[in-house]
Amino acid sequence: MAFHRARTTVLLLAFAAAGCSSGGSVTTAAPRAAGPPGPAAPAGTASATPAPLPSDAVRTTRPRAGRSARVYGRWGRPVLYDDFGGDRLNPRTWQVYDARGALSHPGSPAGVHVADGRLRLVGGLYGGKDQSAGVVSRLAQTYGRWEARLRADRGNGYSATAFLWPTRLGSPEWAEIDFAEIIDGTRRTGGLFIHHGPDDRQLMRIAHVDFTRWHTVAVDWLPSRLTFWVDGKAVWTYQGPFVPKQADMHLNLRNETADGFRRLASTPRRVTMEVDWVRVFRAPEITR
């Protein structure tokens, strides 16, 4: 199953070709075909491959109003809002990613922290092994808008990610939406991806943004299109057959390592991804 395999090296090659500009531009890349693995990993868009734990382990909740009473234009009030106040994660809102024994995409709860109004996902060496750190929203919905304000420390071998993953991959459809996949160890570029089908066909763009600084990333998923945003600017709108139509999607925030990822001598023992806040909205009824 293609979603469960290590990816090809195309993304790394695209990042290298794109350079390290810190502007707000976006580079277009063609859909990728499988190719031989290169000498250096990570390979392709590995960061949003399936969690080793069954997707059914995430208890889905119905959309309902969060703590924010503010109305955001046509989107209304968020159905999920978290500014990570306090000193612990809300277990009614989030499930911690736990895949310590996984051969691919290992992850340890030890890397998940809430402090000073931020979610900190600390990937790194735990028990001598590289481990991801991440959370999954219990909320799942079809269509809407997802927003996150985030940044990431530099560190090869880890990818800071914000992506949508279905409750059950392949039932009713194969779909994945990555609205931030910062695989570049310098954090000067980030990938935007749409995955589709059991053979994991992909479309992508590269955003030239310095993700060591704070930025707001977002995606609008509507029946006819996907629109990706960085700091309030639409950087990619896609209308075509890869737009998911039926899946219930969970928000995943993960600082990820995976099979094929390689830390360098310069990679710190621990690499941190920080999230300031997240907001999730239902799609306006007129667009559904």
The CATH number of the domain holding residue 97 is 2.60.120.200
> Is the confidence at residue 181, as pLDDT, over 80?
yes
Token pair of 194, please?
Answer: 């749409």
Bridge partner residues of 204 (DSSP)? 29, 193
What are 243-256's pLDDT values in tens digits?
999 999 999 999 99
Cis geometry, peptide bond prior to residue 42 (ω within 30 degrees of 0) = yes
Give the closest residue to 201 by CA, choosing from 18, 52, 55, 8.
8
96-110, 125-139, 224-238: least confidently modelled range: 96-110
Total domains present in the chain = 1
Q: Which residues contact 130 (CB under 8 A, 6 or more apart)?
A: 106, 123, 124, 157, 257, 261, 263
> Is the confidence at residue 33, as pLDDT, over 70?
no
Q: What percent of the chain has pLDDT over 70?
A: 75
Q: Provide the pLDDT for residue 26.
A: 55
Cis geometry, peptide bond prior to residue 172 (ω within 30 degrees of 0) = yes
Per the model's pLDDT, the better-predicted residue between 9 and 284 turns out to be 284
> Is the confidence at residue 263, as pLDDT, over 70?
yes
38-47, 96-105, 126-135, 253-262: least confidently modelled range: 38-47
Q: Provide the pLDDT for residue 237.
A: 98
235: left (phi over 0), alpha (psi -120 to 50) or beta: alpha
Q: Provide the pLDDT for residue 143.
A: 97
Specify the length of the chain in residues. Answer: 288
Give the closest residue to 80 by CA, choosing from 232, 282, 285.
282
Per the model's pLDDT, the better-predicted residue between 70 and 166 turns out to be 166
Amino acid residing at 51: A
Which domain range does residue 96 map to? 2-287
Give the closest residue to 103 by CA, choosing from 262, 255, 259.
259
Q: Provide the pLDDT for residue 275.
A: 98
Question: Mean pLDDT over residues 74-90, rounded?
Answer: 95
3-state SS string over the chain? CHHHCCCCCHHHHHHHHHCCCCCCCEEEECCCCCCCCCCCCCCCCHHHCCCCCCHHHCCCECCCCCCCCCCCHHHCCCCEEECCCCCCCCCCCEEECCECCCCCCCECHHHEEEECCEEEEEEEEECCEEEEEEEEEEEEECCEEEEEEEEECCCCCCEEEEEEEECCCCCCCCEEEEEEEECCCCCCCEEEEEEECCCCEEEEEEECCCCCCCEEEEEEEECCEEEEEECCEEEEEECCCCCCCCCCEEEEEEEECCCCCCCCCCCCCEEEEEEEEEEEECCCHHHC
Question: Mean pLDDT over residues 217-232, rounded?
Answer: 97
Q: Provide the pLDDT for residue 104.
A: 83
Give the closest residue to 278 by CA, choosing from 147, 116, 170, 134.
147
Q: Provide the pLDDT for residue 93.
A: 97
The model carries a pTM of 0.80
Question: Mean pLDDT over residues 142-160, rounded?
Answer: 97
What are 34-78's pLDDT values in tens digits?
222 222 222 334 333 333 343 334 455 554 444 556 888 889 999
Query: ∠241-242-243 over CA atoms, to 5°?
Result: 90
